[in-house]
Amino acid sequence: MSTSVQNAPGSGTSAAPGKPIGELVFALIIVSIGVVGFVAGAGIQTPPSASDIGPRAFPFAVSALLVVVGAGLVFQVLRGHRGAADEGEDVDPDAKTDWLTVGKLAGFVLLHAFLIVPLGWPVAAAILFFGAAWSLGARPWWRNLVTAIVLALVLQFVFGGLLGVSLPPGFLEGIGVFGG
């Protein structure tokens, strides 16, 4: 999904000129989810005892909704009706899409997922915060690092220690206040 959209930077917003390839692909994905819903829905086992409507009917209805609505959206996008991109206080409507930063953030979240078990939650979270803040342009690096470590320790203390959420404490293993 993401690769095909990345080939068309700046597509899909009302402000940006050019072909709405990304938006078209997204609408087609909605249609294909509906199609998959029908195909996979046909494979749902129905117990013979079911006298009322079985487990298939509602999935079929939802799939039909997705196909119909998705097709309508494909049609609309082809006719030139584009979606209005989300607005927000921190969103610059005139900015070009910064795919590099989006990719970096996604990469750090993925890295975090692989680090939780070997390094423990606090270290993995500190790395995520540090990496994300750096990707978004925070400088200098040492302030990011200090903030990351303090935040990770505070969260481990509040959620792991006080609230009893079992976050793996990593190197804090054995220290009670961190839920270790």
Partner 1 sequence: MSSVDNFFMLMEGFATAMQPIYLLFALGGVLVGTAVGVLPGIGPAMTVALLMPITYSLEPTAAIIVFAGIYYGGMYGGSTTSILLNTPGESSSIVTALEGNKMAKAGRGAAALATAAVGSFVAGTIATVLLSFVAPFVAAFAVQIGPVEYVALMVVAFLTVGALLGSSVLRGLASLGLGLFIALVGFDSLTAQQRYTFGSPFLADGIDVVLVAVALFAVGEALYVASRLRHGPIKVIPVTGGWTSWLRRDDLRRSWKPWLRGTLIGFPVGTIPAGGADVATFLSYASERKLAKGENKKQFGKGAIEGVAGPEAANNAAAAGVLVPLLTLGIPTTATAAMMLVAFQRYQIPVGPQLFESNSALVWALIASLYVGNLMLLVLNLPLVGIWVKILQIPRPYLYAGILVFAVLGAFSVNFTPIDVIILLIVGILGFFMRRFGYPIAPMVVGLILGPIFESQLRRSLAISQGDPVALVQSPVAATIYVVLIVIFALSFLLKRRQRQFEAMVAANADAPDVVRGSAAGPEAVVAPAATGTSTSTSTSTTPHREDNDR
Residues 150-169 that bind partner 1 (CB under 8 A): 151-152, 155, 159, 163-167
Q: What is the number of other CB atoms lying within 10 angstroms of the CB of residue 167? A: 22
If you count them, how many residues does the chain have? 180
Q: Is 50 in the site for partner 1 (CB under 8 A)?
A: yes
One residue of 21, 28, 119, 138 binding partner 1 per CB under 8 A: 138
Q: Spell out, one character per residue from 8 to 37, where the chain touches partner 1: x when CB under 8 A holds, - when not.
A: ----xxxx------xx--xx--x--xx--x
Identify the residue whose tokens are 């509040």. 158
- Interactions with partner 1, residue window 92-111 (CB under 8 A): 92-93, 95, 97-99, 101-102, 105-106, 108-110
Tell which one of 3, 17, 84, 142 touches partner 1 (CB under 8 A): 84
**Taking Cα atoms as reference points, which of 85, 175, 82, 160 lies closest to residue 124?**
160
Q: Does 2 bind partner 1 (CB under 8 A)?
A: yes
Task: Determine, following the binding rule CB under 8 A, whether residue 120 of this chain makes contact with partner 1.
Answer: no
Q: What is the DSSP letter of 169?
A: -
Question: Beta-carbon neighbour count of residue 34 at 10 Å?
Answer: 21
39 binds partner 1 (CB under 8 A): no
Q: Which is nearer to partner 1, 147 or 175 (CB)?
A: 147
Q: How far apart are CA 30 and CA 16, in angstroms?
A: 23
Which residue in 19, 161, 24, 11 sits closest to 99, CA to CA? Answer: 11
- For the chain, the distance separating the N- and C-terminal CA atoms, rounded to the nearest angstrom, is 40
Of residues 41 and 180, the one with the C-beta less far from partner 1? 41
